[in-house]
Amino acid sequence: MQPQIKLCIPTLNRYDLLIKCLESAAAGSVPPVAYYIIDNGTVLDFTTIPKEISGRVFIAKTKYNIGVARSWNWFIDNVECDRMIICNDDIEFYENSIEKLVDGYDENFIVYPEEGATSFSCILLPKKITTDVGYFDESLSPFYAYFEDNDYHYRMKLKGYDIKSAPGCKVKHLGSGTLRKFTGIEMQMHHEKFRAAQTRYILKWGGEPGKERFIEPDNGVDSGTTRKDNP
């Protein structure tokens, strides 16, 4: 029996890219049984959703941009299925992309496409991992989108899990689709938020991604907590 597949997509204003993502997923050899969308832009018009899948699309509208980590956590809390795929709105699937991604399923790994996407821009997320590792850290980049993936990957590794690519799985990733519409002022704010998130990550783990020194996070809650360095 083919496992249930549900596609989860946070989106922010690039609804044209979102529609392409949905259409490409629906046209694949193994289409999702449902589509969950977090509308961080708040004005997604349901009538633009392809009619052939509109009955299987669920849209959660926010009052403001809640950010990537909180969007991903919403999916963890609200979507129950055998195979949950979370992807950016600027991902386009080829005919067998989802089939190959699911073929690479392993409950001890977050699986991502072998070609065309960075590791967390399109992932197959096992329930076992979210149950054990927990939620994405919303405090690193509140209402935005940086370092929550690095943090989760590191926490996974501390518990014996990892990420890996799915052989033969390819997708098309436009990359930075939302950033392309930013004004100069918005881009400046974007860089400031990146640097702030980077600083929080370093304070939490004692180093940048790949250079972490702590095996227990310093969340700044208890200054007397003893930190243990990585061997």
**In whole angstroms, how far apart are CA 66 and each of 37, 45, 137?**
13, 19, 13
pLDDT digits (tens, 9 = 90+) for 107-140: 999 999 999 988 799 999 999 999 999 999 999 9
Q: Tokens 């999916």, residue?
A: 75
Which homologous superfamily is 5-175 in? Spore Coat Polysaccharide Biosynthesis Protein SpsA; Chain A (3.90.550.10)
Check if the beta carbon of residue 210 is closer than 8 Å to that of residue 155.
no
pTM of the model: 0.89
pLDDT digits (tens, 9 = 90+) for 75-112: 999 999 889 999 999 999 999 999 999 999 999 999 99
Q: Tokens 């990420």, residue?
A: 163
Residue ranges of domains in the chain = 5-175
Q: Work out the pLDDT band at 223, boundaries 50, 70, 90.
A: very low
Separation of alpha carbons 216 and 219, rounded Å: 9
**In whole angstroms, how far apart are CA 125 and each of 5, 108, 112, 130, 215?**
11, 10, 9, 8, 23
Check if the beta carbon of residue 96 is closer than 8 Å to that of residue 170.
no
| Strand pairing report for 5-11 and 83-87 | parallel
Q: Is 12 exposed, middle or buried (0-12, 13-18, 19+ CB in 10 A)?
A: buried
Separation of alpha carbons 215 and 218, rounded Å: 9
Separation of alpha carbons 27 and 21, rounded Å: 10
The stretch 8-15 carries a mean pLDDT of: 92
Residue 179: both structure tokens together = 């950033």
Q: Work out the pLDDT band at 220, boundaries 50, 70, 90.
A: low
CA dihedral 149, 152, 153, 158 (to 10 degrees): 160
What confidence score (pLDDT) does residue 45 get?
Answer: 84
Q: Look over the chain and give the mean of its residue pLDDT values, rounded to a whole number.
A: 89
In this predicted model, which residue has the larger pLDDT, 47 or 155?
A: 155
Q: What is the percentage of the chain residues whose pLDDT exceeds 90?
A: 74
The stretch 169-189 carries a mean pLDDT of: 76
DSSP H helix total and E strand total for the chain: 6, 8
